[in-house]
Amino acid sequence: MIVVGGMIGLGKSSVAKLLGERLGTQVFYESVEDNKILPLFYTSSEEEIQAKRYPFLLQLYFLDTRFKSIKEALVDDNNVLDRSIYEDWYFAKVNRDLGRISDLEFEVYESLVNNMMEELAELPKKSPDVFVYLKGSFDTVLERINKRGRGYELDESLVDYYRVLWEGYDSWLENHYKASDVIIVDMDVTDVVNNESDADAVVDAVKAKLKELGRL
């Protein structure tokens, strides 16, 4: 299984789609369009967030849908997953650090994650083969969020939240992610949608790593 991850807006879905098409495998996208909680998370006031616990509900929603996708994706070699359960933990931690998720909620969340990981450990393939990590400057993040035009993501008040996520993402990768080999793609200079040579370079890097691991 290949996981594509990284900061919001950097092009995970586009890279996942590309890899699925070139490798002839299935892509399991992050549940966004049918996610009723996500717009509420982005557009609610701090008072509403505290009263209705949208950050906690959102992380539970992503955890549930991600777990289902992982079990489906692990059936065949080289299926592609748009974001990982490991990153879900990072998002939950950031929201805990910001006071949007309580310590008790985070404790419950971590318990659920651990239970799910124990269940995955019993499957023939329990973790990704390759993690394709999309990295970029904060300016690139904001530019691409604005370009894709999801209305609930565009409020100026969200910039500080995006910055906190972005500032800790590379550190999370370096210090916490141990599940698989990692390929880092610099999205400041990579455009897999409009530049064929960039698309080829990303696919070639992933294929080379899969061959090295005996997965291709």
Helix (H) or strand (E) holding 39: helix 37-43
| Contact yes or no for 153/41 (Cβ under 8 A) | no
| Contact yes or no for 109/59 (Cβ under 8 A) | yes
Distance, CA of 208 to CA of 215 (rounded, Å): 10
Helix, strand, coil shares, percent, the chain, to 5 = 60, 10, 30
- Nearest Cα to Cα of residue 134 among 202, 200, 79: 202
- Catalytic residue among 64, 82, 170, 198, which? 82
Beta strand segments in the chain, E: 2-6, 27-28, 80-82, 130-135, 181-186
Distance, CA of 55 to CA of 100 (rounded, Å): 6
82 noted as active-site residue: yes
Residues noted as catalytic: 82
